[in-house]
Amino acid sequence: MIQTIAVLDFGSQYTQVIARRIRECQVYSKIYHFATPAETLRADGVTGIILSGGPGSVFAPNAPMPDKAIFELGVPVLGICYGVQLMGRILGGKVARSKHREYGLGTLAIRKKSPLLAGLPRKLRVWNSHGDRLIALPPGFAAVARTENSEFAVVQDTKRNFYGIQFHPEVSHSEHGMDIIRNYLFGICNTPKNWTTADFIKQTVAEIRAQVGKGRVLLALSGGVDSSVCAALLHKAIGKQLTCVYVDTGLMRKNETQNIEKLYAKHFKIDLRVVDAAQLFLKRLKGVNDPERKRKIIGGAFIEVFEKKVRELKTREGIEYLGQGTIYPDVIESMAIGGNPAAMIKSHHNVGGLPERMKFKLVEPLRQLFKDEVRQVGTKLGLPKEVVWRQPFPGPGLGVRVVGDITKERLDVLREADAILQDEMMDAGLYYKIWQTFCVYLPVKSVGVIGDERNYADVIALRLVDSIDAMTADWAKIPNELLQKISNRITNEVRGVSRVVLDISSKPPATIEWE
């Protein structure tokens, strides 16, 4: 049994980041509902438990609480932010509301030695996000470090291997945050490095063969990283038993459908069926401005079109399994399990949206993986760079990059502008070095000048971000000369655009996509 670090999710926006940082250390992590029974964790081979942060207060009437028996499992426990307040209160300490909410960067001053902080400088900058704080420690605990507003920013009970930190080491803003996580994994939990790409592929191929047998699998192929790697894994496992369907929603990038056919049908020799449904999607989206309604409409239309094609294939060709490129963040963000307090950030139409009447058995080989792990698997499987390292593209396509009402005219403007941006990023050798670069259409008219005439036209925003896993991101700094070239080309070559602006927001507080 693979040894697992359990992350109990109390609704923090950073829960996925915690799990991902652990995986970066080649240790398997899994996110659990906050109330998961201790016996379930024991049965899963958990060797360490992390209590995530959360948006709530321990004083709230329905404050999420863990099974108190987790503190009797004999494994190290690390509480982060809400997690340390919760642990402190459960084990006999006292928590109070802070007079001043501590949010953003603060200075951590280390006062005593701790295995959790081994090798760190005496002072470092850390990221805080809390309104409550510990004011009295539980029996057996000692204070290790403090911040400006918290005397007990790091606490520990080394006999029982319980640790608590008031800040967030998992976010990139915290200095030496990864060192703290490594200290917990290897210095305190003594966890081996047991999570490698080769092991995952070998295990997953065997699982697919065992599940599918001689049956046939149908996969919705978008051409993005997730569906491509999913197709490669399925093909490695079952070969010609795989059929792929590509739905042209009309919300794709310039020449997307032609490129998909060229790459997968002609180059990889995959059985690919293309469905043109652009008119249907545009009709359903007409006049819709609300982002979540857009996502639901796009998801519903996709399922409808896909289901129709699938019903046809199932009747004629006897396909009984459905493959999906669902990855771990999709699962976590889209499914609020058993009263999970996390607010839904956005919906995904590729998770949990399949009508039960289709009566397919699901095959989701990437369900355990974060985005960069998917890329590693694709590389190991021999997929070309232009597929594996293609920048992420949202399931709803350009539907979430046209702010406001979606029309064919607006989509065409966005497609042309985005094609120019990608061309220039490629020519500058930066496309594969930056996590994501794309254009956003803004429904804002702006005065410009074309020749000697005033021009009242649209605005395009450039969104260029650096990230590892899309859980946190910062805007990418590229040469001003390149920005100027991109802007000049868009305003000169794309009819209907008078102005180009640059989005310099980080995640958090902003998201990567605008909708």
**Phi then psi dihedrals of residue 47, to 5 deg:** -110, 0
Phi-psi region of 269 (alpha: psi -120 to 50; beta: other; left: phi over 0): left
Residue 205, CB-side half-sphere exposure with 13 Å CA sphere = 16
Give, in order, the Cα–Cα distances in Å from 377 to each of 21, 80, 366, 395. 18, 31, 9, 20
Residue 224 is assigned to a ligand binding site: yes
Residue 223 is assigned to a ligand binding site: yes
Residue 226 is assigned to a ligand binding site: yes
Q: Cβ atoms within 10 A of the Cβ of 44, count?
A: 16
Contacts of 212 (CB under 8 A, 6+ apart): 237, 238, 241, 321, 363
Residue 227 is assigned to a ligand binding site: yes
- Taking CA 248 as the corner, what is the angle to CA 366 and CA 251, rounded to the nearest 5 degrees? 90
Residue 228 is assigned to a ligand binding site: yes
Characterize 158-192 residue by residue with b for buried, 16 or more Cβ atoms within 10 angstroms of its Cβ, and e for exposed.
beebbbbbbbbbbbbbbbbbebbbbbbbeebbebe
Contacts of 20 (CB under 8 A, 6+ apart): 29, 170, 370, 468, 469, 471
- Closest CA relative to residue 273, chosen from 265, 285, 281, 284: 265
Element (H, E) at 298: helix 291-317
Distance between start and end Cα atoms, the chain: 41
The 3-state DSSP class for residue 449 equals strand
> Which DSSP letter does residue 122 get?
S
**Catalytic site residues?**
81, 168, 170
Residue 453, CB-side half-sphere exposure with 13 Å CA sphere = 4
Amino acid at position 213, single letter: G
- Closest CA relative to residue 334, chosen from 348, 350, 318: 348
Per-position DSSP letters for 155-181, written without gaps between them = EEETTTTEEEESS-TTSTTSTTHHHHH
Handedness of CA 430, 431, 434, 436 (dihedral sign): positive
Residue 323 is assigned to a ligand binding site: no
Token pair for 251: 């919300």
| Known binding-site positions for ATP | 222-228
